[in-house]
Amino acid sequence: MDWSEILTQSEAEFTQEVLAYLESVPWAGALVQEIGRRGGLSYKNKPLLFEARVAYALAQAAITAVEYEYCAEVGASRVDFRLGGQPEWLVEVVSIGRSDAVNEATFHSGPYFGTTLSSPNASQSMEERRRSEEGEALLVVQKIGEKLHDGTAPIKFPVPSSGKYHVVVVDMRGHLGGGDIMDWRQIAYGAESVPLEYRKHWLDKNNQQIPLRGVWHPDNLMRSAATARERLHAIMFVAEEHYVNGGLSQGAWIACNPHLFADEAAARGVLNSFPLWRPTKEFEGT
């Protein structure tokens, strides 16, 4: 059974408390109403329920100057949250669900359930290559990129200006059980950011093996990659294990954009004040 596709009792009970609390938070009303319109506490609503827990964490951090579905004047697109103050934050949320490739690689035999993924090789079709841990990592890179570029132009986040920072918060529970820091580092920076034994590879157009290219990797040729290098300050990876106050941060790890921070000290000076971040795990600087 894939727990990422099930609304567990603990998640439902805590999120019910979250929604009740958010009903009294003026800026969160539209989010609570949208969840209600879509059926409330349902596994189909998991992305919105995660968004609600992000909103709850902001409210619990006493962030009062919050705007939900904020237009930063990048076309008609909107970013999930604007946090006013000094500094100012624009925060977009994305949930990684169970992919079609994983569904295709999953088998059932009586009471047994499992998934078979193999590393891509030149003899495979593209569809077969996607049924791999490497393909799943590339899918997360793509999903983050879709929050920055619509295939034609940048969306949501403007060109950075002084005192304003941009973060994508990623719910990783649907990615191979959530993954770990070695997976997340490669998604952010590329395979070269981890020791050899953890590195993931893909195949280029000539079927030659190349290291996985992360969101900010300079050799990432996805349309969204240049926008990510220019406009996205940080990625916060979340894989909740406990649905409690503070649980969002307990399962989190944050990576910062080496193209926008001079060094790790500069990154720490900003990201350690990000309201959703409680640095209980390794912070990845530049």
Task: Flag whether 41 is in a domain.
Answer: no
Task: Flag whether 56 is in a domain.
Answer: no
pLDDT digits (tens, 9 = 90+) for 80-119: 999 998 899 999 999 997 644 444 444 445 554 444 445 6
SS3 letters across 138-199: HHHHHHHHCCCECCCCECCCCCCCCCEEEEEEEECCCCHHHCCHHHHHHHHHCHHHCCHHHC
| pLDDT above 50: residue 154 | yes
Domains held by the chain: number: 1
Overall residue count recorded for the chain in this entry: 286
CA distance 131 to 253: 26
How many CB atoms are closer than 10 A to CB 124?
16
Quick one: pLDDT at residue 45?
93
Task: Flag whether 204 is in a domain.
Answer: yes
* Boundaries of domain holding 123: 65-271
Range with lowest mean pLDDT among 58-67, 103-112, 180-189, 223-232: 103-112
Q: What type of residue is 257?
A: N
Handedness of CA 56, 11, 277, 73 (dihedral sign): negative
Regarding predicted confidence, which is higher, 4 or 258? 258
Task: Flag whether 105 is in a domain.
Answer: yes
